[in-house]
Amino acid sequence: MERRMVLRLLSYWRDWCGDALYPSFTQVDPSRMAEIWDHSFVLDVVGHEENPIVRMVGSEFQSYLPRSVRDCALSDAPAGSLIEHAASYYQEILDRGVPISRGGEFIKYDGMKVLYRSIILPMSDDGTSVSGLLGAANCREVPAG
Amino acid sequence: MKAFEIHTYQSGKWKIDSVFDDRDLAMFEAQRMDSSGRYTSIRVVEEVYFEATKETKTRTIYRGSKVADANAAQLRKARETNLKTAQAPRKGRSDPVQRRKAAKRRKVKKQAGAARLIMIMIMITTFAGGAMYGLLLLQQGGF
């Protein structure tokens, strides 16, 4: 699996943080990290802590989804999709307030086996409390069985 | 279930920087962070959760070069101090002449302290007596 992408995004996140506990989405410039942004997703957690809303999905990430999930609750994400697995541990980021990276494999909705590596980063509007999550994942398909 | 936490030492305490489920990835990132020179200290803590007993065990599996250097320096210093303190009392104990001299010095010190106290008391008494005599003279003079 391509691991460097999650580390690159983590490195960006640390730079955005500066002296603050968490960075703001306003600091994110998608044009400066296009290759990562295409693999990213954004979860809105304000008022939706128990079931975040998907606000953005990058084009590469979208290619592993059978339909658009923009503005959908995470619980409504299609079963066997990348976002279902890449965002499954979002609650741990809310609880611990630190970036977490996980990897694994799952059988996609079309029967293909997918290996993935993901990361979720806490973001904030005020620098102290988490108001959103920035995630990213990359993956590759291998024949199932 | 295993987790690998990267900790950074900031403002006098350890802080969790990030968490990985992959040991190699955590180690790679920790080493990269350590060599960047941006952090005072880096360490990787392995956390193992035992589902059956609901217990978590932790152990440090990586210490950045600065942590290792600081620990080694501290250990060296502690050893030197131990060696010095171990040698110093033996010298005194093995030499009775030195011991007697030291006891004499302590005795002289005690005596000097008592003499100083008596001198101070005499001075205070003299001063107080002089002041009272002066006041008496002033009173008799009709001022």
CA of B17, closest CA in chain A: separation in Å? 6
Contacts with B20 from chain A: Cβ below 8 Å? 100-101
State the pTM of this model. Answer: 0.73
What pLDDT score does A50 carry? 93
- Confidence label for B102 from pLDDT (cuts 50, 70 and 90): confident
| B110-143 pLDDT per residue, tens | 777 788 888 899 899 888 888 888 888 888 875 5
* CB-based contact A7 B25, cutoff 8 Å: yes
Cα(B50)–Cα(A2) distance, rounded to whole angstroms?
Answer: 30
A-chain CB neighbours of B17 within 8 Å are 14, 98-99
Q: What pLDDT, on the 0 to 100 scale, is given for residue A145?
A: 66
pLDDT attached to residue B80: 87
CA distance A72 to chain B (A): 27
Residue A15 tokens, joined: 């730079």
Neighbours of A46 (CB within 10 A): 12
Highest mean pLDDT pick, A17-26, B78-87, B95-104, B109-118: A17-26
User: What would the DSSP string read from start to end of B21-60?
Assistant: S-HHHHHHHHHHHHHHT-SS-EEEEEEEEETTTTEEEEEE
CB atoms near residue B67 (< 10 Å): 18
Neighbouring C-alpha atoms within 13 Å toward the C-beta of A117: 14
pLDDT at B94 over 60: no
Length of chain B counted residue by residue? 143
What ipTM was assigned to the predicted interfaces of this complex? 0.93
Percent of residues, chain B, with pLDDT higher than 70: 89
pLDDT score at B90: 57
Query: B96-140 vs B65-94: helix axis angle to the nearest 10?
Result: 90
For chain A, what are the domain ranges?
A: 4-142
- Fold (CATH) for A4-142: Beta-Lactamase (3.30.450)
What confidence score (pLDDT) does residue B86 get?
Answer: 82
Residue B79: pLDDT band with limits 50, 70, 90: confident
A102–chain B Cβ distance below 8 A for any pair: yes
Q: Which of A3, A13, A92, A138 to mutate to test the interface with B (most CBs of B within 10 A)?
A: A3
- By C-alpha distance, the chain B residue nearest A100 is B19
Residue A87 and residue A105: Cα distance in Å, rounded?
A: 13
| B32 or B75, higher pLDDT | B32
Q: Look at residue B96 and tell me whether its pLDDT is greater than 90.
A: no
pLDDT in tens, chain A (145 residues): 456 899 999 999 999 998 899 999 999 999 999 999 999 999 999 999 999 999 999 999 999 999 999 999 999 999 989 999 999 999 999 999 999 999 999 999 888 999 999 999 999 999 889 999 999 999 999 887 6
Report which of residues B47 and B92 the model is more confident about: B47
